[in-house]
């Protein structure tokens, strides 16, 4: 991927300077589920020309609010969309704070019964960053990556999921990916509140990106598995052949940093098509995303 498309993103921190203070009296109504469009996406003008109405042959076109995407064949059978209103104030849990956003949930996803729900979320970037400090930090990190003249590297702090009440324990298969009118970074990761074994139940493909105008912030969470990981986070679970044994959780001197480094190296060296769904298939979904005002 070239850097020209990435550098077109407007620095969010500059946008935030002109933002006003948020009201602190809002409450949290429940989400309103909206009818989801599955019609063909209209052609749209972008900085690089006209995008196709269906960039993935045989895919399923879906949209909700400003978000449209194409589900690659076999990834899911459809999607449902919801619009969430602004939520803030003392009665709102930190991870539920939002300036208002859209959520697209993939239905009939290729993997079932995983810890994470397969979903795409779109937030107004300046509003989310102004309202919620973890969102500000993640968008700042994303800006730094997109504007780095050397591109994505393993030394750059990665953005995290602002609304997760847990920490990112590792990141592998890091790569920049462009979508129809923006760019971002994807990687495989797992979150936990403790030193946890990396496993297929909690592993997910994660993407964060910004539209070129800096107005929208995109978060994608998609479960993914690979044969060399255990299917369970149970420390007593059998490690598949070729996997990495995890430290004794009862050993206070256990080398968890070494364990996560070994997992990262192993997954980086695993062919993208060995994952389920294939990383390339999930990249196609990201590349199909288009977000308009």
> 14: which 2 tokens?
């500059």
Q: Are 178 and 172 in contact, with CB atoms under 8 Å apart?
A: no
pLDDT at 291: 96
Domain spans in the chain, listed from the N-terminal domain onward: 1-19+57-293
The residues near 77 (Cβ < 8 Å, ≥ 6 apart) are 60, 107, 108
* Alpha-helical runs (H) found in the chain: 12-17, 125-131, 133-146, 256-268, 279-288
Q: Please, what is the end-to-end C-alpha distance for the chain in angstroms?
A: 26
The number of angstroms, rounded, from the C-alpha of 184 to the middle of its chain's C-alpha atoms is 9
pLDDT at 195: 83
Q: Are 269 and 244 in contact, with CB atoms under 8 Å apart?
A: no
pLDDT at 236: 78
Rg (C-alpha) for the chain, rounded Å, is 19
Q: How many CA atoms lie within 13 A of 192 on its CB side?
A: 16
> 252: which 2 tokens?
């206070």
| Tens-binned pLDDT, residue by residue, of the chain (293 aa) | 433 333 334 344 433 323 333 332 323 233 333 333 333 333 333 333 333 344 577 789 999 999 999 999 999 999 999 999 999 999 999 999 999 999 999 999 999 899 999 999 999 999 999 999 999 999 999 999 988 877 776 667 899 999 998 889 999 999 999 999 999 999 999 998 888 899 999 999 999 999 999 999 999 999 999 999 999 888 778 888 888 988 877 788 889 899 999 999 999 999 999 999 999 999 999 999 999 98
C-alpha to C-alpha distance for 250 and 45, rounded to whole angstroms: 57
Count Cβ atoms within 10 A of the Cβ of residue 81 and give its class: 0-12 exposed, 13-18 middle, 19 or more buried. buried
pLDDT at 143: 92
pLDDT at 155: 67
Q: Are 202 and 190 in contact, with CB atoms under 8 Å apart?
A: yes
pLDDT at 3: 35
pTM of the predicted model as reported, rounded to 2 decimal places:
0.81
pLDDT at 32: 31
């Amino acid at each position: 991927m070239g850097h020209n498309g990435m550098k077109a993103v407007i620095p969010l921190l500059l946008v935030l300077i002109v933002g006003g203070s948020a009201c602190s009296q809002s409450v949290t109504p429940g989400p309103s589920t909206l009818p989801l469009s599955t019609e063909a996406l209209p052609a749209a003008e972008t900085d690089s020309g006209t995008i196709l109405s269906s960039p993935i042959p045989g895919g399923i076109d879906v949209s909700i609010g400003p978000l449209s995407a194409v589900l690659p064949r076999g990834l899911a059978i459809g999607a449902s969309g919801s619009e969430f209103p602004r939520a803030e104030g003392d009665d709102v849990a930190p991870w539920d704070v939002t300036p208002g956003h859209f959520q697209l949930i993939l239905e009939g996803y290729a993997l079932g019964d995983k810890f994470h729900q397969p979903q795409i979320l779109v937030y107004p970037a300046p509003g989310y960053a102004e309202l919620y400090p973890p969102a500000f930090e993640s968008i700042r990190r994303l800006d730094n990556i997109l504007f780095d003249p050397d591109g994505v590297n393993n030394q750059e702090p990665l953005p995290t999921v602002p609304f997760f009440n847990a920490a990112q324990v590792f990141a592998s298969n890091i790569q920049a990916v462009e979508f129809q009118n923006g760019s971002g970074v994807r990687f495989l990761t797992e979150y936990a509140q403790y030193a946890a074994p990396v496993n297929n139940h909690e592993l997910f493909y994660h993407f964060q990106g910004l539209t070129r105008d800096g107005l929208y912030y995109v978060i994608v969470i998609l479960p993914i598995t690979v044969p060399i990981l255990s299917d369970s986070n149970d420390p007593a679970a059998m490690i598949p052949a070729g996997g990495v044994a995890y430290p004794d959780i009862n050993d206070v001197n256990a080398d968890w940093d070494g364990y996560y480094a070994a997992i990262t190296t192993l997954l980086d060296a695993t062919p993208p098509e060995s994952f389920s769904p294939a990383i390339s298939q999930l990249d196609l979904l990201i590349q199909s995303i288009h977000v308009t005002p």
